[in-house]
Structure 1
Amino acid sequence: MRLHRLIGIIMLLNSKEAVKARELAKILESSERTIYRDIDILCEAGIPIVSIPGPAGGFSFMEGYKFHTDFLYKKDIVNILLSTMGINVDKNTEAAQELKNTIIKLENSVPEKYREDIVKAKERFFFDAEPWWGKKLENKNIDIVKNAILDLKKMKINYRKYDGTETERIIRPYGVIVKNSQWYLVAFCEEKNQERIFKCSRIVNPEILLENFVIPREFSLEEFWGNSKQQFIEKAASEDVVCEKYPVKVKLFKEKKGFLEGFKILECLNHGAYWIYKIDMLSFETACSMLFPLSDEVQIIEPIEVKNFIIGKAKNILSFNNF
């Protein structure tokens, strides 16, 4: 991460007359103290950076010095491609810093008369990937996975299952699918001797091995994912397969199907004045987060643990507000 931040500082100083430490820290998502340490490292490496005092001052290159960055590396092209595909990397990753550096390079190559438009666009458009409630699940190990895929290197991983157990695998990473901000690694598992899908957030202690591999010429990432999705849908819809993960039974006094969208409805009975639904809500946590905001419209019948959670939460709210 430090290497990419140092490159970012060089390119920012290369594009402006003077940049304050506060501005560098904001752009590179770091602290001012870290920026000062990085400036010291660059000076020790022989890069002529000077400090200009005053309100319009800051750090800059010595007069007449210019660092040539009017070219893009292979990684820069890959980062631009991923970004145009809508594949956003998480903050505080190597990939995120590489993308920032690539954007800075591109901005530096734009004629001066167009740079004001770039500044306006950056100031007036903001993408917030965080959910309204709860925390966004971090996609761990993105940098390692991306490098292994691009370099065609085998990986050794521990994979954590839903029940918490871990198994060690040697895999050949073929590619990544990003769906709903989650990264899914498609890889050939040498233990199972077939292609498998691994959720990146459940990969533990990944290690890139020295051994290379070759992706079969007939393999298509898009086709594999499409077939896998279809098989999952067909399996979930099959009457012969029990796929319930967390069945919840609720009573609705108004027909409110909107909040059920995306969940598998296992049973629906119309009793005239109310409806009884049995829904697979996937997990206790999902059931609680979905049903609590609707607790004045939806009556939980079972399981009792969800019902008790809703009641306990309501009591805490009343107590907190001195009722």
Structure 2
Amino acid sequence: MKIDRLIGILSILLQQEKVTAPYLAGKFEVSRRTINRDIEDICKAGIPLVTTQGPNGGISIMEGYRIDRTVLTSSEMQSILTGLRSLDSVSGTNKYQQLMDKLAMGNSSILTSNSHILIDLSSWYKSCLAPKIELIQAAIGAREYITFAYFGPSGESRRKLEPYLLVFQWSSWYVWGYCTDREDYRLFKLNRMLELKALDERFEERKVPAYDMSPDKAFPPRISVTAVCEADMKWRLIEESGLESFQEREDGKLVFSSCFSDPGSVFSWLLSMGDRVELVEPEELRVEFAAMAEKICRIYR
């Protein structure tokens, strides 16, 4: 996109006093004429660039004009580049690596000094996720509707969405936008979407509210649960809920207390713990879970 190229040109000029048009054209894989138009656009935006001719000529920021280079410190730039590096793990390409090279032009230490951090956002579903992410990214940029079949706990439905955000949260990828069917903003999990298509139909951007999907909002704590876990499940409780979520009894067993959003979440958690947990409260869920366990036993007898 043009705006990305303009930002990239400015980034290079901030790190190198002078560069040539052919150099920029090669870096961004465009013609010299395109670079000349970009330079004009940057000047129109109020940043004075100077072009000089001759053997030592090139493009530079006007002497005496100051752009605060400390807006992004080296540490902050490293954090950005680490994030960009992680995006390649999703797409399976190296296009973000190429962008990193451009951003770090003239300062290769930025690329290497933070190499002790690795973020891998890929998943077992990488082959089907990457095309969805690419399609949704393009639709967001072009302000195009997307449609898809969605499979959720309440069943299957077809949706038409104004996409506004791609979100990586709770170890999964989602798209957030305005659902025309529900006439409200909704969050959809990409792995539950099939028959995803971008329509050749543009939407007018709304006044979008701030995205807020904190755990308490997405999964409001409605059910207080007490359970007794075997001692060898301590690692699981610490990983999922923290050290403060349980107390150790004299016999070594762990009294776990937490809140869940719905009975299904409680039952899923109990089943995942197998015979290493006993639900104590609430009593009504204990009775319901016992009935469920009896049905499961009948299936396997």
Give the structure with the higher percent helix. 2
